[in-house]
Amino acid sequence: MTVMANTTIARLYHSEAVLLDDGRVLVSGSDPEDVRAFAPQEYRNELWTPPYILHGGARPAFTVSDLDWAYGSTHTISITAFGTGAVGSYRVSLIGAVASTHGNSMGQRTIFPAVDCSAGSSCKVTAPPTANVCPPAWFQVFLLDANNVPSHASWVRIGGDPAGLGNWPAFPDFNVPGTGPVQPLF
């Protein structure tokens, strides 16, 4: 492991670090404002940029049309830009969506599913086999080139919607959230 950059901002207990879709990491938070606190309330955010983004080299890119993956199913991702190395050595990572607070990222997990990139301009990715390996959730999908430089992420849902969060009531006077006109706040 290599230490690359340390923050100079006291983040303390109520801090978070979140992986963004472009591979950077957002760092924010601090302890609540309290006149007795030994560190001030912190409102600044930081973005950590990994070296592979800073050097400006080629990064892979892909598209995936199926965004809802059943366990054990196979999906095609189409490579639209190539990074370094032979495509056959490319990998895919699935990074679980998180709820980040108190210096922890609840639900965070990284899965490297079975992948076959022998086709040259596409890869076949096999979703994890069961909820025991991969609880139902949303995941960032990254395509990694031969040097492990990631693409930008696409989001997929794995394991469906077992809690029925997408099942809204069919009442004539009920508007599904997010589908109607935006109302002014004031």
Q: For the residues 156-181, what does the mean pLDDT come to?
A: 77
Q: How does the average pLDDT of the chain come out, rounded?
A: 85
61 beta partners: 81
Answer yes or no: do 38 and 73 share one domain: no
Question: How far from chain centre, in Å, is Cα 52?
Answer: 18
Answer yes or no: do 22 and 101 share one domain: no
Between strands 122-126 and 115-116, the pairing is antiparallel
Higher-pLDDT residue of 26, 100: 26
Confidence of residue 124 (pLDDT cuts 50, 70, 90): very high
User: Is 89 part of any domain?
Assistant: yes
Q: For the residues 100-111, what does the mean pLDDT come to?
A: 80
Q: What is the DSSP letter of 84?
A: S
Q: Could you tell me the CATH number of the domain that includes residue 130?
A: 2.60.40.10
Answer yes or no: do 48 and 114 share one domain: no
- For the chain, what is the domain count? 2
Q: What is the DSSP letter of 98?
A: -
Q: What is the DSSP letter of 128?
A: P
| Residues of the domain holding 97 | 61-158
Give the other-Cβ count within 10 Å of 30's Cβ.
19
Higher-pLDDT residue of 115, 56: 115
CB 160, CB 119: distance < 8 Å = no
pLDDT digits (tens, 9 = 90+) for 50-89: 888 887 788 999 999 999 999 999 999 999 999 888 888 8
Q: For the residues 89-109, what does the mean pLDDT come to?
A: 85
Answer yes or no: do 80 and 23 share one domain: no
Answer yes or no: do 78 and 140 share one domain: yes
77 beta partners: 64, 123
User: Is 22 part of any domain?
Assistant: yes
Count of residues making up the chain: 186
Residue 142 has pLDDT above 80, yes or no: yes
Q: For the residues 155-173, what does the mean pLDDT come to?
A: 83
Answer yes or no: do 68 and 124 share one domain: yes
Percent residues over pLDDT 70 in the chain:
88
CB 180, CB 174: distance < 8 Å = no
